[in-house]
Chains A and B, each alone.
Chain A
Amino acid sequence: MSRAVEESNRAMLRARDAMDRAYAEPLDIPALARIAHVSEAHFIRTFRATFGETPHRYLQRRRIERAMSMLLETGRDVTEICYAVGFGSLGTFSRTFRQIVGESPTDFRRRRALAANVPSCFAKAWARPSSFG
């Protein structure tokens, strides 16, 4: 039993890592389920049970976190950043950004100073917008 949980966890982590790595690509549930070697319905359910949120939400947060970083660290305009992090439309990007971050991309860029110079895996884990309240 426990071995099955470990294998499932590791497979879900592999799919989550794929979202962290390839967030800009058009990742969809079938592709992620293939990485985890499970059916699509099983993937969504198991991912949520493992990490506390749906894969879709995790990918949204990853993309928004990358967008936040690009807004702070580059001079690229908002539309360019929207497509660079994997969103297909500016409307969805702006709505999702505002919902997760609490302000528009432009306001966010204006308000925040440059991120501190820390190892990026910690910055990614801690600066990523939360879905846990």
Chain B
Amino acid sequence: MTMNAISRSQIYVLDQDEALDFYVGKLGLAVGSDQDLGFMRWLTVHVPGDREHEILLEKPGPPALDPATAEQVRELLTKGAMGGWLCLTTDDARKTYEELVAKGVDVTDEPTERPYGIDFGIRDPFGNRIRIGQIFWRG
């Protein structure tokens, strides 16, 4: 038994239109699929050119979660305690940082050079953590 990729992962968002505006409009990710399945809106994004690794932007709610549980998820998400975390890489962290600041993105951590690369932290509109790094790959 051998796994060969992390093909899809999930984070919770409070509003999928707002999520599109942020993840596609501001971060520059591409829409993988945006389908109304009736029981849910299956909305995924990926890094441009890499359809093999998708992030599902899921809205918590019924019937998957009962209303009270969904409300707990929303409360944890908005206080930054839901655990949603994305780690993205870029060729130029400082330039990417300047572009995102110009777009009004919430910054948690300015670009800093570390042993593994230069990275910075932002927060999505809902409370998920995102780290963007220019990684020094070591052979």
Q: Which residues of A contact B (CB under 8 A)?
A: 2, 5-7, 9-10, 12-14, 16-17, 20-21, 50-51, 117, 119-121
Let me know if B115 is at the binding interface, CB within 8 A.
yes
Q: Is the CB of B112 within 8 A of A120?
A: yes
Interface residues on B, range: 20 to 34
Closest to A9 in B: B78
Q: Is the CB of B106 within 8 A of A17?
A: yes
Residues of B32-82 contacting chain A, CB below 8 A? 71, 74-75, 77-80
Cα–Cα, bound, A120→B113 (Å): 11
Partner of A16, one of B71, B80, B114, B121: B80
Q: Is the CB of B108 within 8 A of A119?
A: no
Closest to A10 in B: B78
Nearest-neighbour CB distance to chain B for A54, whole angstroms, equals: 16
Cα–Cα, bound, A14→B108 (Å): 9
Cα–Cα, bound, A38→B87 (Å): 32
Let me know if B107 is at the binding interface, CB within 8 A.
yes
Closest to A120 in B: B114
Q: Is the CB of B115 within 8 A of A17?
A: no
Task: Kindly list chain B residues whose C-beta atoms are within 8 Å of the C-beta of A20.
Answer: 108-109
Q: Is the CB of B119 within 8 A of A10?
A: no
